[in-house]
Amino acid sequence: MSARPDDRPAMLREVLRGLDSTPRTLSPKYFYDKSGSLLFDRITALPEYYLTRAEAALLTTHAGTICDLMGPHAALIELGSGSSLKTRIVLDRAVDLERYVPVDISADHLFDTAAKLRSAYPGFVIAPVVADYSKPLPPMADAVSRKGGRRVVFFPGSSIGNFEPDDAIAFLRRVAPLAGDDGLVIVGVDIPKDRAILERAYDDASGVTALFNKNVLLHLNDQLGADFDVDGFDHHAPWQPGPSRIEMRLVSRAQQSVTIGDRRFTFDAGEHIVTEHCYKWSPERFCELAARASLVSRKVLFDLGGNVSMHVLAPAS
């Protein structure tokens, strides 16, 4: 996410608020400049990172069911689309889809992906939208089917786990109107599992996830003129069983100071910045969460290994 010049004051304010908090935090959305998006693509291919394989397996098993639920002439609106690699499994089966609307914060990566999709799927409209889905979305005229089909908000990659529970509820409430009264919201959810499996997935042996985590510092150096010493921080990703989440951290290796904007922050050795929470939800608990957002479960789909789930939700009548 390379910020436009007029976006940088808001970005700076948000970053300063996070660094002033206890514990210090940085939003995970700042992972995703072009370099961060490419690093995440590498993460999805790692042997430790079970999520992408499990999600792809789920979509392969249930793509026909998802297309049947969408119905003819649908508009599929994917939030946080990235490279749309897993979504192609559904697009390959969606013979009567009218349009696909990928929404992503990283403009360069999004438009590169959209160009490839137009070549691969000439039968329907590809209408990319650059937006931060963690905030109110801009008007999306291209998200509306011209033939009266259903609008389907698609959020398949378990990124709902990056929200704090109350924020997840607020997010679902905010995006449900995009689907409309007769539309659907389809959400991918990671399921709790053995600690060792989870910690390996977020701290791989080859260090790609560490590079991805540290990229947030490079991004802030580039966009806001900060002077983070990237090598002065270590990547940690411990499992926290109480709240049922992985906590991604950048841990200061020694006492150091960082300047950003007109502020200077001092870090003690061992002090950390939280860059991401990755909550893992049981199917029952996630249905309860969705109900608090006035969404009812129409169907829950699973991969064959029971690693991940996908919830098909509709507005409560």
CB within 8 Å of 162: residues ≥ 6 apart? 28, 276, 277, 278, 279
Segment 184-239, tens digit of pLDDT = 999 999 999 999 999 999 999 999 999 999 999 999 999 999 999 999 999 999 99
Which pLDDT belongs to residue 135? 84
At 92, the amino acid letter reads D
Rounded Cα–Cα distance for residues 39 and 34 (Å): 9
Q: Which residue in 309, 240, 252 sits closest to 278, CA to CA? A: 240
At 137, the amino acid letter reads L
Rounded Cα–Cα distance for residues 176 and 316 (Å): 10
Q: Which residues pair with 116 in a beta bridge?
A: none
Domain ranges of the chain: 5-31+196-279, 50-191+281-315
For residues 315 and 176, the answer to whether their CB atoms sit within 8 Å is yes
pTM of the model: 0.87
Residue with tokens 């026909």: 64
| CATH numeric code, 50-191+281-315 | 3.40.50.150
Which pLDDT belongs to residue 2? 53
Which pLDDT belongs to residue 4? 53
Residue 3 has pLDDT above 70, yes or no: no
DSSP secondary structure of 78-122:
EET-TT-TTHHHHHHH-TT--EEEEEES-HHHHHHHHHHHHHH-T
